[in-house]
Structures are given as C-alpha cells and as structure tokens.
Amino acid sequence: MPIVQPGKRPARRLQGSKVWGGKMSGGRKATNADLNVVPMVDMMTMLVIFLLQQFSATGEVLFMQKDIKLPDALHGQMIEVAPVVAISATQVVVTGQKVADVADLDRDSGYLNIPQLEERLRDEKKRWDFIHQNDPDRDKNWKGDVNIQADVKVPFRLVKRVMFSAAQAGYFNVNFATLDQSNVEAFQRK
C-alpha cells in the first residue's frame, strides 16, 4: 500500500474517470503524450525514394574541381571507372597527381607527347596488368579507356597532346567527360 497524502481523493473505481477523477486530480495533467510519427515516416520514405534516384552503383568516378568547368552534352553514356586526366587552365593532373604545367607545355610546343603523363599512364597500365595477371583473356579485356576531364576553354592543342600521350601508353579509347543534360532536355520537352 503506497503512502499518500491525506485529503480528498476519489474512490478507486472513479480514478480512471475523466469527469470525477479529473476533479480530484488537483490540476495535475498526465505527462504521457503520444507523438504522431506517421508524417515523419512518410517524409522519410519520400527522402529514401529521392536519394535512391540519385544513387549510382559506380560511385563518383570524377570529382568536380573548382578550376574545371565541364561542357554539356545530350548524348553521353554512363561514365566508367578509368584513369582520369584532368586538364585545367594551369595544369594537367592524372588521378590526383600533377604531371605538367600548361605554361611549360606551351613553351615546348614542338613535341607532341607529355613524358610525365605517358609515364604515369604506363604505371597505371602496369598496375592493371598486375591485377589481371591470372586472367587468360587479359588482352581481350583490355579496353584502353581513359577519362579526360578538361575545362571548357582548354584549347585542342593541349587535348591533342594528352590524347597522343595516352595512346602511346596504350590508352587509345578516350572518354571526354561532360555534364549530362539529357534529363534536363527531356524535362524541358515535357
């Protein structure tokens, strides 16, 4: 039997009553409140659906850089994992490592290849060969893909040298990175 303060209190059968029990409660309110979580579940479901649409199984192959603005294209394909050569207005970078300055390349414009780039891509190819050393169809499976992520204003004389160097290293399939506008175009048509 709990110890209670002396005074008026309702009979046990009236304690649950809102009419009689409320009078005797002395102004106290119940502290339990049911929170309606259904709208929150709805919102979360919609968020999950939206984020599933943004999901990409290949992950982020190219990272957007401040100094590189990509051109738009309507008929691009899905980008695949391959070594990335980023060409900005000032430098040439391969998978995050700087290989040449554009100013230096403009100075020795008599040459077609970029030796450091070629060497770096050869290393990448050696790594691919090592990973696939037990593959009997290694030569068949070699596609020679390289992704070129260049700024819109980069001149072709630079792209040409990068392409030549890549071809010398065995990467003859060039993928020019673009911003996919096919969805935007389809949306505007509607």
Partner 1 sequence: MAGGGGVPEQGGSRGKKKKALDAVINVIPAIDLLSCCIAFLLFTAVWTQISRLQAQSPGAGGPPPTAAEMKQLQVTVALTEKGLTLTTSAGMSAEIPSAGKNPDGGPVYDLRALSTKLKQIKTEYPDQSSVTVAADDAVIYADLVKVIDACVGAGLSAVAVMATG
Which stretches of the chain bind partner 1, using CB under 8 A? 37-38, 40-41, 44-45, 47-48, 51-52, 54-56, 59-62, 64, 70-71, 73-80, 87, 144, 147, 150-157, 159-160, 163-164, 166-180, 182-183
| 178 contacts 80 by C-beta, under 8 angstroms | no
Nearer to partner 1, 138 or 160 (CB): 160
The CA-atom distances, in angstroms, between 72 and each of 11, 69, 81, 159, 178 are 79, 10, 20, 17, 5
Q: Give the nearest distance from C-beta 8 to partner 1 in angstroms.
A: 32
* Shortest Å, Cβ 4 to partner 1: 31
Residue closer to partner 1 by CB (options 28, 190) is 190
Residue closer to partner 1 by CB (options 10, 180) is: 180
By C-beta, is 99 or 166 nearer to partner 1? Answer: 166
Residues in the chain: 190
- What is the distance between the alpha carbons of residues 161 and 158, in angstroms, rounded to a whole number? 5
Q: How far is the CB of 28 from partner 1 (least distance, A)?
A: 25
144 burial (CB, 10 Å; 0-12 / 13-18 / 19+) is middle
| Shortest Cβ 103–partner 1 spacing (Å) | 16
